[in-house]
């Protein structure tokens, strides 16, 4: 019956196929276009088309093989020209706000741009976070900052407002959030004793629930996750300097425990998500860091001394001043965090400057830098204050090819400049 409705224009071959299908309804379907293959090959061979195609492929591959080498020899390294806006060291130094000379993303042929990443920085309005955001934006990635502004400030990021690669979300990490991202730098947590002791329950909630939420997000979207842990996980250490293999000497019920034990739990959670759910995690154990944009009155020793010396107040030394700390400039830390995220090793890695200073020695350097007539005032020490702190960074040197470059005497003046401006503005504000 079907044939009755066929158009008369149908060719003979088509009629043959239909009639053969009708005679044996279970015979296998005829291959479509089974005769077009030789025709297309025919087409290729005609007029030397195949030759042209082969020559094209050859030229294309030569271009992609040679270009990266040529561009490396060329004078312009566009990435290395990008420098952060404000707190840069003299050009002679490779400070943290220059782009790294080596690419962290393997060899990308010239002409093909590295895929732009979308990166979340929790706590990105804080001291370390804002410097990290600057570096990520400068290298061309998109950054979403989530912050509840507990200790962070919009002023730290104001220079990025209006930049299409930057977004800022007011959000508390204790609550879940859903975002499509490639990497998560999880910094959100008050970091100075004054701030984390202010509301210890909130501090431990931030460390535990906040880290759980960010790890959950990493798992859901398949993002890489970096935790900024702390040297405080070593407590008042019985091993000196501290290696990553040292398990620590921590008071679990003290005033600092919300922070120390909170970060230890955060490390545990990160490792459990790594082993149990295959999340690609990275753990940094950060030692004392200083630099521009630190909170003026956060009780951390460098910011305390600098702010007091500028305000012509005596510098407060707790205890006898013989306890030691090491001080890392913020750009060195930011370089280390990025190297860790882009590297292949989970960690934990100590990121700190191994140069060790007593509190009295630090006070001397601050006097030299700011005011030689500055005085010192002694006060009783706070509970559980560690006696010694000095990182062993051999693991980071070997596996991340990272080590700090900025000495205390070089970094301190950069911080002092920023503090002076902010304290002057504060004073002017009071006079209005
Ligand atoms: N600076 C250091 O010397 C040092 C040393 C060891 C570890 N760290 C770690 O590095 C990270 C950053 O430290 P920092 O010195 O920049 O501190 P910071 O206080 O300047 O920054 C922390 C940021 O997290 C935000 N935040 C806090 N709780 C939050 C929450 N519940 N939800 C969302 N945002 C929240 C704050 O508003 C702030 O912007 C912290 O995790 C800290 O523990 C810092």
pLDDT in tens, 94-147: 333 333 333 344 455 665 667 899 999 999 999 999 999 999 999 999 999 999
Ligand 1 site, residue 183, Cβ cutoff 6 A:
no
183 falls in which pLDDT band (50, 70, 90)? very high
Tokens of 200: 């210890």
Mean pLDDT on 152-161 = 95
- Cα separation, 417 vs 87, in Å, equals 9
Q: Quote the pLDDT of residue 11.
A: 42
Distance 21 CA to ligand 1 centre (A): 74
Ligand 1 site, residue 174, Cβ cutoff 6 A:
yes
Q: Quote the pLDDT of residue 67.
A: 58
Which of these ranges, 129-143, 256-270, 361-375, has the smallest mean pLDDT? 361-375
Distance from the first to the final alpha carbon of the chain: 98
- Cα separation, 131 vs 333, in Å, equals 10
Percent of the chain with pLDDT over 90: 55
Ligand 1 site, residue 110, Cβ cutoff 6 A:
no
Q: Quote the pLDDT of residue 342.
A: 95
Q: Which residues contact 58 (CB under 8 A, 6 or more apart)?
A: none
Ligand 1 site, residue 333, Cβ cutoff 6 A:
no
Q: Quote the pLDDT of residue 137.
A: 97
Write the DSSP symbol of residue 344: S
Distance 150 CA to ligand 1 centre (A): 9
Ligand 1: residue whose CA is nearest its atom 26: 188
Percent of the chain with pLDDT over 70: 76
- Reference 408, options 287, 285, 256, 302; nearest CA is 302
Is the pLDDT reported for residue 379 higher than 70? yes
- Reference 305, options 287, 281, 321; nearest CA is 321
Ligand 1 site, residue 328, Cβ cutoff 6 A:
no
Ligand 1 site, residue 296, Cβ cutoff 6 A:
no
Is the pLDDT reported for residue 196 higher than 70? yes
Ligand 1: residue whose CA is nearest its atom 43: 191
Q: Are strands 356-358 and 324-326 parallel, antiparallel or unpaired?
A: antiparallel
Ligand 1: residue whose CA is nearest its atom 18: 126
Ligand 1 site, residue 391, Cβ cutoff 6 A:
no
Q: Are 254 and 383 in contact (CB under 8 A)?
A: yes
Mean pLDDT taken over the chain: 81
Ligand 1: residue whose CA is nearest its atom 34: 147
77 falls in which pLDDT band (50, 70, 90)? very low
Ligand 1 site, residue 347, Cβ cutoff 6 A:
no
Q: Quote the pLDDT of residue 158.
A: 96
Distance 226 CA to ligand 1 centre (A): 14
Active-site annotation, residues: 259
Distance 190 CA to ligand 1 centre (A): 4
Give the H/E segment covering residue 96. Answer: none
What's the distance, CA 110 to chain centroid?
25
Q: Quote the pLDDT of residue 95.
A: 32
Of ligand 1's listed atoms, the one at least distance from the Cα of 288 is: 3
Alpha-carbon distance values, 201 to 87, 173, 205, 295, 298 (Å): 35, 14, 6, 22, 19
Distance 163 CA to ligand 1 centre (A): 23
Ligand 1 site, residue 84, Cβ cutoff 6 A:
no
- Cα separation, 204 vs 167, in Å, equals 27
Tokens of 279: 């999340």
- Cα separation, 130 vs 137, in Å, equals 11
pLDDT in tens, 18-58: 444 444 444 444 444 445 556 766 776 677 777 888 888 88
Tokens of 429: 């504000």
Distance 347 CA to ligand 1 centre (A): 20
SS3 at position 339: helix
Tokens of 360: 């009295």
Ligand 1: residue whose CA is nearest its atom 19: 190
DSSP-derived secondary structure for 144-210: EEEE--SS--GGGTGGGTT-TTEEEEE--TTS------SEEEE--S--SHHHHHHSHHHHHHIIIII
Q: Quote the pLDDT of residue 51.
A: 80
Alpha-carbon distance values, 12 to 9, 17, 370 (Å): 9, 9, 99
Ligand 1: residue whose CA is nearest its atom 21: 126
Which of these ranges, 18-32, 221-235, 254-268, 304-318, has the smallest mean pLDDT? 18-32
Q: Are 142 and 118 in contact (CB under 8 A)?
A: yes
């Amino acid at each position: 019956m079907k044939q009755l409705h066929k158009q008369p224009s149908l060719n003979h071959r088509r009629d043959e196929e239909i009639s053969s299908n009708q005679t044996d309804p279970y015979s296998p379907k005829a291959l479509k276009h089974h005769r077009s293959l030789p025709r297309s090959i025919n087409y290729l061979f005609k007029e030397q088309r195949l030759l042209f195609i082969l020559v094209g492929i050859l030229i294309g591959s030569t271009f992609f093989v040679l270009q990266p080498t040529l561009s490396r020899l060329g004078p312009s390294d566009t990435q290395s020209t990008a420098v952060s806006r404000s707190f840069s060291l003299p050009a002679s130094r490779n400070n943290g706000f220059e782009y790294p000379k080596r690419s962290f993303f393997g060899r990308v042929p010239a002409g093909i741009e590295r895929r732009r990443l979308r990166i979340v920085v929790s706590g990105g309005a804080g001291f370390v976070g804002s410097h990290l955001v600057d570096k990520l934006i400068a290298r061309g990635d998109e950054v979403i900052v989530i912050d509840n502004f507990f200790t962070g400030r919009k002023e730290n990021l104001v220079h990025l407002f209006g930049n299409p690669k930057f977004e800022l979300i007011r959000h508390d990490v204790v609550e879940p959030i859903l975002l499509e991202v490639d990497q998560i730098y999880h910094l959100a947590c008050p970091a100075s004793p004054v701030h984390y002791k202010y509301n210890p329950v909130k501090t431990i909630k931030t460390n535990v629930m906040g880290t759980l939420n960010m790890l959950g997000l990493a798992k859901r979207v398949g993002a890489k996750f970096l935790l900024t842990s702390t040297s405080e996980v070593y407590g008042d250490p019985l091993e000196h300097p501290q290696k990553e293999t040292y398990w620590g000497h921590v008071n679990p019920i003290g005033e600092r425990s919300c922070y120390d034990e909170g970060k230890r739990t955060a490390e545990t959670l990160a490792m459990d998500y790594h082993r149990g759910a295959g999340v690609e995690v990275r753990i940094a154990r950060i030692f004392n860091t200083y630099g521009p944009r630190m909170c003026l009155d956060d009780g951390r020793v460098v910011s305390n001394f600098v702010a007091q010396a500028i305000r012509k107040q005596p510098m407060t030394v707790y205890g006898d001043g013989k306890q030691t700390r090491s001080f890392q400039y913020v750009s060195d830390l930011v370089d280390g965090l990025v190297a860790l995220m882009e590297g292949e090793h989970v960690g934990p890695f100590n990121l700190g400057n191994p140069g060790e200073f007593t509190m009295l020695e630090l006070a001397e350097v601050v006097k030299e830098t700011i005011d030689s007539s500055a005085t010192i005032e002694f006060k009783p020490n706070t509970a559980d204050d560690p006696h010694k702190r000095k990182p062993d960074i051999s693991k980071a040197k070997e596996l991340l090819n990272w080590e700090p470059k900025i000495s205390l005497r070089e970094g301190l003046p950069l911080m002092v400049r920023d503090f002076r401006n902010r304290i002057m503005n504060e004073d002017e504000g009071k006079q209005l």
